[in-house]
Amino acid sequence: MGIDQNSIIAQFPILKQQINKFPLVYFDNAATTQKPQCVIESLTDYYSNFNSNIHRGVHHLSQKATEAYEQVRAQIKDFIHANSSNEIVFTKGTTDSINLLAFSIGETFIEEGDEIIVSELEHHSNIVPWQMLCQRKKAHLRVIPVNDEGDLLIDEYRKLLNKRTRLVAVGHVSNALGTVNPIKEIIDLAHQNNSFVLIDGAQAVAHLAVDVKALDCDFYAFSGHKMYGPMGIGVLYGKKHLLEQLQPYQGGGEMIASVSFEKTTYNELPYKFEAGTPNVADVLALSKAIEFIQKYGISNLAKLESEVLEYATEEFKKIKRIKIVGTAKRKAGVLSFLIEGVHPYDVGTILDQFGIAVRTGNHCAEPIMTRLGIRGTIRASFAAYNTKEEVDRLLKAIHKTIDMFG
Ligand code: PMP
C-alpha cells in the first residue's frame, strides 16, 4: 500500500514558504535535507527541559540526558544493523568520521609503501583525508576509474587490488551523479585481498536500507543532516575488534580511563573516540529523524523519490538541449544535467527566481567532473517530500531559461 505523501510534506514547516513569490521547490537534498517538525521540536525540548552535560553527573538532569543519549546509540545500532552499540561512534558528520578514521587507521595500520584505493566518483571528503594520510605515511592513493555513464569499472578495481592495498574507501551513492555503487561486490573483493573497507554512506542512509552486518563493511560513515536530522552530528560505524585496535583521534575529556603525567590510559569503546562534550541535542534530534524514516519505512520513502527521479529523467530526455550527466545502471535521488549554451550558474540563478532551489558547480567532486571533461553541472536532488508537480515546475522554468538564452 502506498503512503500519503501529503502527510509527509505537511511535517516540514520550511516547505510552506514562498521564494520570489513562488512556492518553494526544494531540490537541493543531496546538500542537506529539510527537517520535520519532530526534529525541530526535539532541539527546543532538549534545551528547555533537560540540557546538562552527560556521563559525569549524578544529578537528575545529567542522568536523564545520559540515558537518552545512549538510547540513541542503541537505536542507530538497530537502524544500520550493527552488532553492538559500542560500534557506533558519534561524530560531527561524514567528513569528521572519515578524518577520524584516516588518522586512527593511519596511525595503527598504514606503513610506507601501502596503498589506499578510492574511486573517481568520490566526494572530496572521501579523497582529501586519504591524500593527507598518504602524505604523512608515504603511502599511495590508487583510483578506481568510471565509464562515461558514471559506473565504476569493477574489472579495473580488481586489477588495482594487491598485497599492499590496506584500505578501500568508496561511496555508497555518488552525490554528484547519483550512481549506486555495487558495494557488496567491492567489499567482498577487498576482503578476499585482506584489505579494510570504509563505505561513505552520506548519500545512502536516507535512500536505501543499510545493513552493515550483511554488507560486512569494516567502517561506514554518514551525516544526520542528509537524513532529515540536524546538522553537526554524524556517525562512524566500525567493527568492534577493529575500533578496539585503532589509536584514538583526539585527546581530551571522556576518552580517557585515567590520566597522569607519566601514563594515560584510554576509555573503552566507543568513548575512546568521543573526546570532549558531545553534541547531545543533535543526537536526540537525530533519533527523531530516524523515527520519522522508520514510521514510513525507508523503502516507501525511496519509492516516492525514485518515481520522481524516473519521471524527471524521462521528461529531461525529451528536451533536446539538455544533457543528463550520469546515467548509471542504478541511481538514487540525483539528477545532474547541463543545458547546452547556458552556464550552470546562470541556470541556478534563474531557477531561484522561480523559487526552485538546485545546486550548481562541481558538488565537491572535482575529479569526476574533470574525468567527464566538464567544470560542473546543475543538480536536482530529491527527498521523500518532492513531487512530480514540482518536477513540472522545474521543466517549465527550464523551458523559460532556454527561451531566454535563445
Ligand atoms: N560524502 C558524500 C558522498 C557527500 O555527499 C557529502 C556531503 N555532500 C559528504 C561526504 C560530506 O558530508 P558532510 O559535509 O555532512 O560531512
Q: What is the 3-state secondary structure (H, E, C) of 233-255?
A: CEEEEECHHHHHHCCCCCCCCCC
> What whole-number distance in Å separates Cα of residue 127 and Cα of residue 131?
6
pLDDT digits (tens, 9 = 90+) for 238-261: 999 999 999 999 999 999 999 999
Q: Is the CB of 331 under 6 A from ligand 1?
A: no
346: its cell numbers: 546562470
Q: Is the CB of 29 under 6 A from ligand 1?
A: no
Mutate to test the pocket of ligand 1, among 126, 364, 381 (most ligand atoms within 8 A of CB): 364
Query: Residue 171 forms beta bridges with which residues?
Result: 200
Length of the chain: 406
Instruction: Give every CB contact of residue 392 below 8 A, 6+ residues apart in sequence.
Output: none
Amino acid letter, residue 25: V
pLDDT of 56: 80
Q: What is the mean pLDDT of the chain?
A: 97
Average pLDDT over residues 18-38: 98
Mean predicted confidence (pLDDT) in 68-87: 98
Cα 226 to averaged position of ligand 1 atoms, centre (Å)? 8
Q: In angstroms, rounded to a whole number, what is the distance separating the alpha carbons of residues 103 and 309?
A: 37
Q: Which of 186, 171, 183, 225 is nearest to 364 (CA)?
A: 171
Quick one: which of 189, 229, 185, 187 has its CA closest to 205? 229
- Quick: pLDDT tens for 122-142: 999 999 999 999 999 999 999
Q: Where are the beta strands (DSSP E) in 177-333?
A: 196-200, 219-223, 234-238, 256-258, 265-266, 322-325
Sequence-distant (6+) residues with CB within 8 A of 353 are: 20
Start-end of H helices in 81-199: 94-109, 128-137, 154-160, 183-192
* C-alpha to C-alpha distances, 74 to 54, 270, 369, 373, nearest whole angstrom: 16, 12, 39, 45
Q: Using a 6 Å cutoff on CB, does residue 97 contact ligand 1?
A: no
- 216 alpha carbon – ligand 1 mean position (Å): 22
Taking only Cα atoms into account, the Rg of the chain, rounded to an integer number of angstroms, comes to 22
Give, in degrees to the nearest 5, the angle at Cα 254 between 250 and 260.
85
The answer to whether the CB of 179 falls within 8 A of the CB of 326 is yes
Which among 282, 277, 287 has a CA at the least distance from the CA of 52?
277
Q: Probe ligand 1: pick from 33, 175, 207, 236, max atoms within 8 Å of CB?
A: 175
Strand partners, 256: 266
Out of 38, 134, 217, 364, pick the active-site residue: 364
- Taking 90 as the threshold, does the pLDDT of residue 272 lie above it? yes
- C-alpha 399 to ligand 1 mean position (Å): 31
Which cell numbers hold the place of 105?
A: 587507521
- What is the percent of the chain with per-residue pLDDT over 70, rounded to a whole number? 100
- The mean pLDDT value for 171-183 works out to 98
Q: Is the CB of 177 under 6 A from ligand 1?
A: no
Rounded-to-integer distance, Cα 295 and Cα 262, Å = 52
> So what's the pLDDT on residue 51?
96
For residue 201, how far is its CA from the centre of ligand 1 (angstroms)? 8
Residues 31-38 have a mean pLDDT of 98
- How many angstroms separate the first and last alpha carbons of the chain? 46
Determine the residue of 174, 181, 223 to mutate for testing ligand 1's pocket, defined as the one with the most ligand atoms within 8 A of the Cβ atom: 223
Q: Tell me which of 98, 123, 220 to substitute to probe ligand 1's pocket, judged by most ligand atoms within 8 Å of the beta carbon.
A: 123
Q: How far apart are CA 64 and CA 342, in angstroms?
A: 56
Express each pLDDT in 229-239 by its tens digit.
999 999 999 99
**Does the Cβ of 223 fall within 6 Å of ligand 1?**
yes
Q: Does residue 314 have a pLDDT over 70?
A: yes
> How confident is the model at residue 406, as a pLDDT?
79
- As a 3-state breakdown, the chain gives helix, strand, coil percent values, each rounded to 5, of 45, 20, 35
- Whole-angstrom Cα distance, residue 132 to residue 102? 8
**Is the bond into 230 cis (omega within 30 degrees of 0)?**
no
pLDDT in tens, 317-370: 999 999 999 999 999 999 999 999 999 999 999 999 999 999 999 999 999 999
* Known active-site residue 364: yes
Q: What is the pLDDT of residue 1?
A: 59
Q: In angstroms, what is the span from residue 106 Cα to ligand 1's centroid?
A: 21
How confident is the model at residue 370, as a pLDDT?
A: 98
CATH class, domain 5-30+297-405, is: alpha beta
CB atoms within 10 A of CB 370: 12
> Please, where in the chain does CATH 3.90.1150.10 lie?
5-30+297-405
Query: Residue 57 — very low, low, confident or very high, per pLDDT cuts 50/70/90?
Result: confident
Ligand 1 pocket check for 32: Cβ under 6 Å:
no
Percent of the chain at pLDDT exceeding 90: 98
Nearest CA to ligand 1 atom 12: 94
Query: Could you say which architecture CATH assigns to the domain 40-294?
Result: 3-Layer(aba) Sandwich (3.40)
Distance CA 297, CA 293 (A): 6
How far is Cα 230 from Cα 228, in angstroms, rounded to an integer? 7
The CATH 3.40.640.10 portion of the chain extends over: 40-294
CA distance 379 to 400: 18
pLDDT of 100 over the 90 cut: yes
Q: Name residues whose C-beta falls within 8 Å of residue 332's C-beta, 6 or more positions apart in sequence.
A: 173, 178, 180, 203, 204, 207, 208, 302, 305, 306, 309
Q: Ligand 1 centroid vs 125 CA: distance in angstroms?
A: 6
Contact 316, 322 (CB under 8 A): yes
128 CA from centroid of ligand 1 (Å): 12
pLDDT at 2 over 80: no
Nearest partner of 67 among 257, 233, 287, 272, judged by Cα: 287
CA dihedral sign, ordered 180, 181, 182, 184: negative
Q: Which of 227, 123, 99 is nearest to 171 (CA)?
A: 123
pLDDT surpassing 70 at residue 63: yes
